[in-house]
A and B are shown apart, each in its own frame.
Chain A
């Protein structure tokens, strides 16, 4: 079994994996990092989304060995313990989360967007979260939350 060395949320890990093991299985079952969810396991719903070197990937269809020597970020690593990333704060305050199942993936899709485009239009937000399904909110509150976080981050920078 190959040895996978990767960094998740600032910590280094070494795990034995099968060549077919997915990144989602490593995160959930080996490292017990539970925020990426198994929604469809076919790359369609986005609940398993994580950042691989700042790029949004669906960990359920990403072979774990692709992450060899790389850095992975999940929601657990968005902010220091006890603190909230502006996106987390905005999702909480603007009701961007209902049942919570899509929320971790949605937050990371939003993070990937704001890292590249700190001041997105509504259409750009829609485009960025197009691969992440939510069945509760109708997306309106999610889009509001992401734009509110962008505004707060811009104010903090100024």
Chain B
């Protein structure tokens, strides 16, 4: 079979539009009469909103609508829907409390100053290790550690870890810390929601996961999968064409043009606020985050503490790997449950270890929620495990190459999650890498292949 595309140089399908400036990102869509949005963010790290008065803001000339937690049909979203669109219980500094739609940004900002809010401050906790202690201040009523079923950690077990360590000639331990990291994609979080004359709502989104967003938004607007219709309490009051309820098919989600995401646009940041404000005011509504908001309050890669204990034989073979990882989730789950899952499934690295015991904790702290970023928890795992491989090499007196070759996964090997592998080319990849890096490998390593062990 002749390959038409593989092996040829293909130009980007959107490349010409990029270089001519014709690509339209969300902020480049202009709809007449669009209102600007600003959000009141909590100045307090942790507490409870005692009193919220938006009367003066609503009366300001140029303000078309103000929304508070009472306006959000279902005030929770995320993989576990624990994050409010607008909060009454404040769990991080900068958490949105109310939102204003006005003729322009300056008016919206002026309106924010007129919103009166009293917050009862409570004690906060920032360090995940502190948050895990039984007497730590509660980030959330149900506890500071996410439950994975009956355990408060994700567990991955293969073989017998104790037996593995008994077989080991060396035990090599390492503790690794990966700091938090912001995606800093160049296009800020932006959303434009446009109520159409036919009763539909069009949302221009920066989402890099359109159907994640559609599902989450459906939940927030209280659309049930069986009837796919939600009641909009402002329908018919502000706009004659609203039919009294909207369904999933009434939302037209326009996306696909993303000015950088890197995982920072998997979670809804703006579409929920614009959708609710558009429904309430009956006007097109656009919200573009400032760079300051983006850096301080958008999702980011949460910090990791990764503790590894490896059992290794004198010949360099790994016989046991025990890992305990702690993920700082910030105040809400976002995608963190999946981030911890994926970390635990893959923290063993591309190595064949018969005895594995992995524990991954997802811990809440009073910081903005962290979430996905390039690799969902695997990238920090790779940082830790690869440094660990070099430590193993040093301990047993082999070269870093040889330790990786002997332990590399091969066809027929089983992963930590009991998946039998095929189509493995790790050894061949490392041989190619060595060649390109000008490293001459010993005969023994050059002769190795990914063929099944013992075959």
Which A positions have Cβ atoms within 8 angstroms of B?
A: 28-29, 32, 34-35, 37-42, 44-45, 47, 74-76, 84, 88-89, 91-93, 95-97, 99-104, 107, 133-136
CB-based contact B16/A101 at 8 Å: no
Answer yes or no: B14 CB below 8 A from chain A CBs: yes
Question: Is B186's CB under 8 angstroms from A37's CB?
Answer: yes
Contacts of B187 in A (CB 8 A): 37, 39, 99, 101
**B14, closest chain A residue (CB):** A100
Min C-beta distance of A142 to chain B, whole Å: 12
Question: Is the pair B12, A92 in contact by a Cβ cutoff of 8 Å?
Answer: yes
- Give chain B's interface secondary structure class: loop
Interface of B with A (CB < 8 Å)? 11-12, 14-21, 23-25, 27-28, 30, 183-188, 258-262, 288, 290-291
For B30, what are the chain A residues with a Cβ–Cβ distance below 8 Å? 29, 32
**Pairwise interchain contact A91-B19, C-beta atoms closer than 8 A:** yes
Flag if B259 contacts A101 (CB, 8 Å).
yes
- The docked-state distance in angstroms from the alpha carbon of A104 to that of B28 is 13
Chain A interface mostly: loop
How many angstroms between the C-alpha atoms of A54 and B262 in the bound complex? Answer: 34
Question: Which B residues are in CB contact (< 8 Å) with A40?
Answer: 291
Known contacts A99-B258, A99-B259, A34 near B28 by CB under 8 Å: yes
Selected contact of B259 from candidates A35, A44, A100, CB within 8 Å: A100
A136 to B260, CA, bound (A): 7
Contact, CB under 8 Å: B21 / A99 = no
Residues of chain B contacted by A104 (CB below 8 angstroms): 21
- Whether A75 pairs with B20 at a CB distance below 8 angstroms is yes
| Docked CA distance A99–B184 (Å) | 13
By a CB distance below 8 angstroms, the chain B residues around A102 are 186
Distance between Cα atoms of A117 and B26 in the complex (Å) = 36
B residues near A96, Cβ cutoff 8 Å: 19
In the complex formed, the residue of B with least CB distance to A75 is B21
B18 x A103 contact (CB < 8 A): yes
Nearest CB in chain B: distance from A25 CB, A: 11
Identify which of A37, A91, A134 contacts B25 (C-beta below 8 A).
A37
- Cβ of A44: which chain B residues have Cβ within 8 Å of it? 291
Contact partner of B11 (CB less than 8 A), chosen from A39, A41, A92, is A92
A92 to B22 alpha-carbon distance, docked (Å): 13
Bound together, the chains give a CA A100 to CA B18 distance in angstroms of 5
- Do B186 and A92 touch across chains, with their CB atoms under 8 A apart? no
CB distance from A9 to the nearest CB of B (A): 10
Bound-state Cα–Cα, A91 to B183, Å? 24
Whole-angstrom distance from the CB of A96 to the nearest CB of chain B? Answer: 8
Query: Residues of B contacting A89 with CB < 8 Å?
Result: 19
> Could you list 9 A-B pairs, sorted by A, with CB under 8 Å?
A32-B30, A44-B291, A84-B20, A96-B19, A99-B186, A100-B18, A101-B259, A101-B260, A135-B260
- Whether B19 pairs with A41 at a CB distance below 8 angstroms is no
B301 to chain A, nearest CB (A): 14
Q: How far is the CA of A91 from the CA of B103 in the complex (A)?
A: 39
A145's closest neighbor in chain B, by CB?
B19
A115 vs B141: C-alpha distance when bound (angstroms): 63
A124 to chain B, nearest CB (A): 22
Q: Known contacts A97-B15, A99-B258, A99-B259; decide if A135 and B184 are in contact (CB<8 Å).
A: yes
Q: Which residue of B lies closest to A89 (CB)?
A: B19
A64 to B434, CA, bound (A): 56
**Complex contacts, A88 vs chain B, CB 8 Å:** 19-20
User: What residues of chain A lie closer than 8 Å to B19, measured between beta carbons?
Assistant: 75, 84, 88-89, 91-92, 96-97, 103, 107
In the complex, chain B residues whose CB is within 8 Å of the CB of A45: 186, 291
CB-based nearest B residue for A105: B186
Q: A41 to B105, alpha carbons, bound, how many Å?
A: 13
What 5 A-B pairs have minimum CB-CB distances, sorted nearest first?
A35-B21, A100-B18, A101-B259, A75-B21, A40-B291
Looking at B18, B260, B262, the one whose CB has the most chain A CB atoms below 10 A away is B18
Closest to A83 in B: B20
Please give, as numbers and ranges, the residues of chain B lying within 8 Å of A100 by CB-CB distance.
Answer: 14, 17-18, 23, 259
Q: Give 17 A-B pairs besides A38-B188, A84-B19 with Cβ atoms closer than 8 angstroms.
A: A28-B28, A29-B30, A37-B27, A39-B186, A39-B187, A45-B291, A47-B186, A75-B21, A88-B20, A91-B15, A97-B15, A103-B19, A104-B21, A134-B186, A135-B183, A135-B185, A135-B186
Q: Name the distance in Å between A74's Cβ and chain B's nearest Cβ.
A: 7
**Cβ distance B27 to chain A, nearest Cβ, rounded Å:** 6
Please, how many angstroms separate the alpha-carbon atoms of A44 and B288 in the complex? 17
Give CA–CA (A3, B98) in the complex, Å.
Answer: 38
B23: A residues at CB distance < 8 A: 100
Contact A95–B12 (Cβ < 8 Å): yes
| A45 and B20 alpha carbons, distance in the complex (Å) | 20
Q: How far is the CB of A53 from chain B (nearest CB, A)?
A: 20
Q: Return chain A residues, CB-CB under 8 Å to B290.
A: 41
A101-B186 Cα distance, complex, nearest whole Å: 7
Q: Given the complex, which residues of A lie within 8 Å of B20, measured CB to CB?
A: 75-76, 84, 88
What chain A residues lie within 8 Å of B262 (beta carbons)?
135
Q: Are B185 and A34 in contact (CB under 8 A)?
A: no
Q: Across the interface, which residues of A come within 8 angstroms of B11, CB to CB? A: 92-93
CA–CA, A38 to B186, complex, Å?
9
A38 in contact with B27 (CB, 8 Å): yes
Q: Give every chain B residue within 8 A of A34 (Cβ-Cβ).
A: 21, 24, 28
Question: Are A74 and B291 interface neighbours, CB within 8 A?
Answer: no
Q: Which residues of A contact B291 (CB under 8 A)?
A: 39-42, 44-45
A28, A47, A97: residue with the most chain B Cβ atoms closer than 10 Å: A97
Shortest distance from the beta carbon of B297 to any chain A beta carbon, whole Å: 15
The complex places the Cα of A44 from the Cα of B184 at a distance, in Å, of: 12
A97–B21 touching, CB < 8 Å: no
